[in-house]
Chains A and B, each alone.
Chain A
Amino acid sequence: MKATIAQYYAGDSLLHRLDPRAKLVAVSALAVALFVRDSFAGLAVYAAAAVLAYLLSGVPLVWFWRAFRPLLWLVALTFVAQVVFAPGEPFFSFGFIHLSWRGLELAAFLSLRLVVLVLVGSVLTLTTPSMALTDGLAWLGRPLRRLRVPTDELALMVTIALRFIPTLLVELDTIMRAQRARGADFRRGGLRERTRSLVPVLVPLFVLSFRRADELALAMEARCYRPGAVRTRLHPLRAGWADAALLVAAAIVIAAGLLV
């Protein structure tokens, strides 16, 4: 069973050891800059930074490819939509399709921008365990608590959801196998038949999930969980010089991309 959602590549690279908050800030800032800047030169700077981050992460290229593959369609669609519908002097026309150099340029630019964005995002998720990510997000969301946003509870919810994705996938696999052993066929038939064939899988999966949620809630209460209570952490987040250096480096890269 392959769980490719929110995947993490266990490693000990420089990027792995950085504080999740620093990584989150750097990556979000870079993502914003990517969308603000609309020149190839700026894009090139950000792409170079993304490639450098990839090299520093020590994660095999295959893992990036695995994260990237589901988004391939989106990139392809973006490219085609831009080529076909972009304004500009057409050098080739066929029906409603008008190809222009401007359109091609725009398509290439937007697709590349998406690729760089996915690459940067993948570096973050591949080098940061999901628990650390949510811890980082909770910390960054702290100011919202003044507005009575239950940030700690939200962070815990996200953590639990992420934690149980692999468990549910295993469960799903087992149920599908069991129903296949009883003659179910999930690949044959039209859309209607295929949808119907999912009933024997989804019903048990829902029942099990609710039961599991109930048990988890009981177990948490038994261990004195109270919503709204102040929680301490086993591994408190600690930022160091390397994290400061990351933020400075990110600032320099972003500025460079905006100025070139």
Chain B
Amino acid sequence: MSGLEAIAGAAPDKPGGPGAAGSAGMSLAGEAVSFSYEEARAPVPALCDVSFELRAGGSLALMGASGSGKSTLLQVVRGLDAPESGAVLLDGADPSDPRYTALQREVGLVFQAPERQLFASTARDDVAFGPRRLGWPDEQVTSAVATALDLVGLPPARFAERHPYALSGGEQRRLALAGVLAMRPRLLLLDEPFVSLDPGTRRQLVGILERLKAAGVTLLLATHDVDLAWALCDEILVLGEGRVAAAGPWDFSTAGGRLLAANRLREPFFVELWRRLGRDTHRAPRTAAQAAQALR
């Protein structure tokens, strides 16, 4: 993909600014982050002392039962909600750092069902919304939009002038993703991106995320799909009722399995297969191709 370097950061026209060369991925850390929702009678705690680390260019699967705080954590990381206590560190900078606001703008957040936020009358305009709000010059907006559309498999020549609501569901989802990617995030947060996609679109989306990962973008992926999480993410963060139940590398020991089950999760398919074959689960393949190679 020719424009990938541009998405992944190397934007030579903005020296030292967001996406400067050599700063592809952003590191992320949570330090005892707590947050509650204001409700009519009493605040409802959503996150309690959540601490975790994600290295620059790394990928972390954010998992846990419904209502465990995954979406809340993503919104707090993006700065849409301020933590009540604790802090979110971006590239090691805490909120008191003068660079912090600029760093927050380099965090892309793809909401659940992001196609529901499409509003412009052409695909091009919708994708251009973010870059324009960042105040980029016109040529740069144009190239960012074209690159993002290409990257999500909606070539501008065919799709740029289409009305967003005239696209299929899968195309809309990818268009919404392009709207976030056009802002050249160095850290991408995704909230259940695979929900209600057909297998073909799902596969396409996995391909897009793999390419972003290869280009060095840091990924934080909230999902219920353990197989895709295992295929895409180096590490895992399990939330249970707003607290960290597990954080770090995947753990398929007996205790780790119990922990997954306690949080309404299960082992990824290939891990289970490897265990049933009596093989080392920590060397389980992440994709069917790897499995085929190992079994040949």
A184–B109 alpha-carbon span in the complex (Å): 13
Q: Is the CB of B130 within 8 A of A177?
A: no
Q: Is the CB of A204 within 8 A of B78?
A: no
Complex contacts, A183 vs chain B, CB 8 Å: 105, 129-130, 133-134, 183
Q: Is the CB of B129 within 8 A of A181?
A: no
Choose, from B112-120, B193-201, B230-238, the stretch at the interface: B112-120
Interface string of A161-205 (1 = CB under 8 A from B): 000000000000011011111111100000000000001110110
Q: Is the CB of A204 within 8 A of B117?
A: yes
Complex contacts, A69 vs chain B, CB 8 Å: none
B58 touches A (CB below 8 Å): no
Complex contacts, B165 vs chain A, CB 8 Å: 207
A208 touches B (CB below 8 Å): yes
A174–B209 alpha-carbon span in the complex (Å): 24
Q: Is the CB of B117 within 8 A of A2?
A: no
Interface string of A201-242 (1 = CB under 8 A from B): 101100110000000000000000000000000000000000
Complex contacts, B105 vs chain A, CB 8 Å: 183
Q: Is the CB of A208 within 8 A of B116?
A: yes
Which partner residue on chain A sits nearest B126 by CB separation? A200
Which partner residue on chain B sits nearest A181 by CB separation? B109
Q: Are A204 and B119 CB-contacts (below 8 A) given A181-B109, A183-B130?
A: yes
A259–B120 alpha-carbon span in the complex (Å): 64
Q: Is the CB of A178 within 8 A of B111?
A: yes
B40 touches A (CB below 8 Å): yes
Complex contacts, A179 vs chain B, CB 8 Å: 117, 119, 129
Complex contacts, B80 vs chain A, CB 8 Å: 177, 180-181
* CB proximity of A193 to chain B, nearest CB, Å: 12
Complex contacts, A2 vs chain B, CB 8 Å: 38, 40
B242 touches A (CB below 8 Å): no
Which partner residue on chain B sits nearest A182 by CB separation? B130
A175–B112 alpha-carbon span in the complex (Å): 11
A195–B85 alpha-carbon span in the complex (Å): 34
Interface string of B123-159 (1 = CB under 8 A from A): 0000001100110000000000000000000000000
Q: Is the CB of B75 within 8 A of A182?
A: no
Complex contacts, A180 vs chain B, CB 8 Å: 80
Contact of A203 among B38, B111, B119 (CB under 8 A): B119
Q: Is the CB of B117 within 8 A of A184?
A: no
Complex contacts, A7 vs chain B, CB 8 Å: 40
B285 touches A (CB below 8 Å): no
B118, B119, B120, B165 pick with most chain A CB within 10 angstroms: B119
Q: Is the CB of A174 within 8 A of B133?
A: no
Q: Are A181 and B119 CB-contacts (below 8 A) given A2-B38, A2-B40?
A: no
Complex contacts, A174 vs chain B, CB 8 Å: 111, 116
* CB proximity of B141 to chain A, nearest CB, Å: 12
User: Which residues of B in the span 95-118 have a Cβ within 8 Å of any Cβ on A?
Assistant: 105, 108-109, 111, 114, 116-118
Complex contacts, B109 vs chain A, CB 8 Å: 178, 181
Q: Are A200 and B183 CB-contacts (below 8 A) given A178-B111, A183-B134?
A: no
Q: Is the CB of B130 within 8 A of A200?
A: no
Complex contacts, A177 vs chain B, CB 8 Å: 75, 80, 111
* CB proximity of B237 to chain A, nearest CB, Å: 20
Which partner residue on chain A sits nearest B75 by CB separation? A177
Complex contacts, B116 vs chain A, CB 8 Å: 174-175, 204, 208
User: Which residues of B in the span 75-92 have a Cβ within 8 Å of any Cβ on A?
Assistant: 75, 78, 80
Complex contacts, B183 vs chain A, CB 8 Å: 182-183
* CB proximity of B37 to chain A, nearest CB, Å: 8
* CB proximity of A205 to chain B, nearest CB, Å: 9
Which partner residue on chain B sits nearest A180 by CB separation? B80
Complex contacts, B217 vs chain A, CB 8 Å: none
B57 touches A (CB below 8 Å): no
Question: Can you list 19 A-B contacts (CB < 8 A)?
Answer: A2-B38, A7-B40, A174-B111, A175-B116, A175-B117, A177-B75, A177-B111, A178-B109, A179-B117, A181-B80, A182-B130, A182-B180, A183-B129, A183-B130, A184-B133, A200-B129, A201-B119, A204-B117, A204-B119
Residue ranges of A at the interface with B (Cβ–Cβ < 8 Å): 2, 7, 174-175, 177-185, 199-201, 203-204, 207-208
